[in-house]
């Protein structure tokens, strides 16, 4: 695993962003779905949170004895989320804002990529790794957080395709 998969996946999100106007990014397929822009906002917010969790694990052995859940073990062994739609936490889902500018999203994604790569450099130069808690799947170390982050972005590519299909139907 490592940073290469993360970079490959975030690059897809960065490159694909230029295909859409800000107006298109704000169109929701229905009242209960996110717009493509909200999906981008979600990825940025969540990945920044994951990076914060990674930073908690570096240079210490805090929570090293804590375990991930059985579901996490299966998830990491599979290397991807299940091929199904998940219903997110309503508190998160209902509070995702619409983007204001495509250029802002692009800058945030580029900064996120840079920050994650900087964290990877720190990981590579650290000899002690603890764990921090993911609210749904237990305690993860820094390597698992990087992998989880990439799997999360890759999983949402399927949702992106569904929204894009809806947007094409409007033309």
Residue 168 lies in a domain: yes
Q: Is 122 domain-assigned?
A: no
Q: Does residue 97 form part of some domain?
A: no
118 within a domain of the structure (yes/no): no
Asked if residue 141 has pLDDT above 60, the reply is yes
Chain-centroid distance, C-alpha 142: 15
In a domain, 98, yes or no: no
Position 12 pLDDT exceeds 90 = yes
The answer to whether residue 135 is domain-embedded is: yes
Tell me which residue range forms the domain holding 150: 1-8+62-77+129-171
Question: Is 68 part of a structural domain of the chain?
Answer: yes
Number of domains in the chain: 1
Is 21 a member of any domain?
no
Digit-coded pLDDT (tens) for 20-59: 999 999 999 998 899 999 999 999 999 999 999 999 999 9
Q: What is the pLDDT of residue 94?
A: 67
**Residue 103 pLDDT class (50, 70, 90 cuts):** very high
**pLDDT tens digits, 58-93:** 999 999 999 999 999 999 999 998 876 655 555 555
């Amino acid at each position: 695993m490592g940073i290469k998969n993360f970079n490959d996946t975030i690059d897809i999100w960065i490159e694909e962003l230029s295909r859409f106007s800000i107006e298109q990014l704000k169109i929701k397929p229905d009242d209960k779905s996110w717009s493509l822009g909200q999906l981008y906002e979600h990825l940025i917010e969540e990945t920044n949170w994951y990076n914060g969790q990674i930073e908690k694990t570096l240079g210490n052995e805090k929570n090293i004895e804590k375990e991930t859940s059985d579901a996490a073990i299966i998830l990491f062994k599979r290397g991807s989320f299940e091929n199904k739609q998940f219903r997110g936490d309503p508190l998160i889902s209902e509070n995702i804002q619409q983007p204001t500018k495509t250029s802002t999203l692009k800058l945030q994604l580029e900064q996120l990529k840079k920050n994650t790569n900087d964290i990877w450099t720190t990981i590579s130069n650290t000899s002690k790794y603890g764990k921090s808690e993911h609210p749904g799947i237990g305690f993860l170390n820094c390597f698992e957080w990087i992998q989880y982050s990439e799997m999360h972005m890759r999983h949402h590519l399927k949702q992106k395709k569904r929204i894009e299909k809806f947007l094409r139907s409007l033309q």
